[in-house]
Amino acid sequence: MITIDCHELTLDEQLALAAAISDGLRGKALALIQDSKIVIDPLKTDKTEPVEVEAIARHFVSRRKDARHYAVERDGDFLIVHSPDPLSRGRSRKKAQLPGNLLQCPFCFFVTPYQELYNVHVRSHGFPHGF
């Protein structure tokens, strides 16, 4: 089974890469996200080659605006996609995991459950009517 480790990518980048791989394999297999990995699930009896998936991943990376900072490595059936900003994944996941009763400032890491305090804080960033 071909597995792609993409723990350095944001969730949006992972979804885009999985979609690109599924499209590139043209019905032979489907790319599914499982935790921080993309696994290739074959749909037909044809064996999907890791070289083919690597080529699709490299093409996906080459279309990025900062493509020279990304890297794709292959070790047998295991691929790793490196990001120029591996911490961005943590920031996007942290925001996604915030409970519904908390408000987080879009400009810094300030968090509060109180709407009025949130509005005052956002105004302190220079926005007179809040955000």
* Whether the predicted pLDDT of 131 surpasses 90: no
pLDDT tens by residue, 27-66 = 889 999 888 899 998 887 778 888 999 999 999 999 888 8
Neighbouring C-alpha atoms within 13 Å toward the C-beta of 25: 29
Range of the domain at 118: 98-131
Q: Are residues 83 and 25 in the same domain?
A: yes
- 86 closest CA partner among 7, 25, 18: 7
pLDDT at 89: 52
Give the model confidence (pLDDT) of 78-129 as tens digits.
999 988 776 655 555 444 566 778 888 877 878 899 999 988 888 888 766 5
- Digit-coded pLDDT (tens) for 11-30: 888 999 999 999 999 888 99
- 3-state percent helix, strand, coil for the chain, nearest multiple of 5: 40, 20, 40
Q: Do 83 and 47 have their domain in common?
A: yes
DSSP-assigned beta bridge partners for residue 50: none
Among 5, 3, 20, 22, which residue's Cα sits nearest to residue 82?
A: 5
Query: How many folded domains does the chain comprise?
Result: 2
Do 65 and 32 belong together in one domain? Answer: yes
pLDDT value of residue 94: 47
User: Has residue 93 been placed in a domain?
Assistant: no
Radius of gyration of the chain (CA): 19
Task: For residues 60 and 113, state if they share a domain.
Answer: no
- At residue 123, the pLDDT reads 86
Are residues 32 and 79 located together in one domain of the fold?
A: yes
52 and 107 fall within a common domain = no
Q: Within a domain: residue 32? A: yes
> Both 10 and 66 in a single domain?
yes
Is pTM beyond 0.75 here?
Answer: no
